[in-house]
Structures are given as structure tokens and as C-alpha cells.
Structure 1
């Protein structure tokens, strides 16, 4: 199910800001740190997969209409960039992050 609200920190329940999630996404970084409690969250594979599938569903038909049909009009290029921009701007609302627990090695003495 699609979650329209921005996610909260799993530790302190502070809601992440849209720009925090968006900057993390644009930088290619899969981590998101809570500014209040410094808890590290990592994006789930499922949320990244959904985003890439949605982008593919937009890109593939647009490539078909622009390259194979030789329709390089300004309208088709504009629709292409608007589709990509829309999906990237909506990603922070659909992204899922889980708290990352760095399990330290246990050594037996």
C-alpha cells in the first residue's frame, strides 16, 4: 500500500522532512540520519525497486514514442522530463527506511 505521509524515525518518532529524504535519494546515499537522535536508517530494497519500476514504466513508453517513432517534438521531450521530475519529487512520500543496527562483533576471551 502506498504511504502518503513522510516517514518518522523508528527510534524517537521525529518525522523526517521532505528535503532530508530527497537529498539522501538524489545523492545516491541509501542512509538517512535522524537529526534529533542520530539514528541511522537505510532505505529498503522494496522502496528502491518500486521507484525504479515506476521510472521504467515512464521512460520505456517515452523512448518508444521519441526514438522509434522519430517524434522529437518539444512536447514529447517536455512530457519526458515532467514524468521523471514528478516521480522523483514524489519519491520521499513513498520511500521506506528501516533503522539500521550495526551489529558489533562479539569476541570471546
Structure 2
């Protein structure tokens, strides 16, 4: 009779910092690289508006002249580079806001409490 030996693997916890950095890197790569290959054709809403004839009746919104309006970075002449840059800037803004919210609402250790 043979005895099977079990190998015990110890799982190491990955620090949250590295998980957050990994998420940020993937998000920035997707925003910068994948958006470079995005279609220049109108999106579905614009297509339907054009087909039904009300595309020209749309009014400009308040942020139409903003620095990231129309999925592009203002002042960058290359359309693909401008779209990629807008994607990266937007991603950084979202990650900063999400990180800030995570810091605000995170759990505090049991030893510290604001209760009196």
C-alpha cells in the first residue's frame, strides 16, 4: 500500500496596493491602446438619430467646448491620439475619484473608533 503525500501550498495574500496598481495599469492600457483602434463611425444613438431625421435638431450641451468633448482631447490634431489621450485622462480622473471614495469609506480597524 502506498501512501500519497499531500503537498501543502500556502497561499500568500496579495497586498491591496498591488491589486490596485494592476487594475490601474490594465485600465490605462485599455483606455490608451484599445481606444486608438476605436471606430470613427457614429455610435448607435447618432446612427438612429440620423436615420430618423432628428440629428440636426439636437442642441449643443453645456460641455460641448470642454477639453475632452466628443471623446477627444482639445488641441491634439491627430484624431486617434486625441481619442486615446482623452481615454487616459478620463480613466485617471475616474481612478482618482474611486480611490478617494475607497479611502473615505474604507473599514477602520476595530481598535479605532469615532464613537465617544
More strand by share: 1
TM-score, structure 1 as length reference = 0.35
Structure of higher RCO (CA pairs closer than 8 Å, 6+ residues apart): 1
TM-score normalised per structure 2:
0.33
Answer with 1 or 2: which has the greater Rg: 2
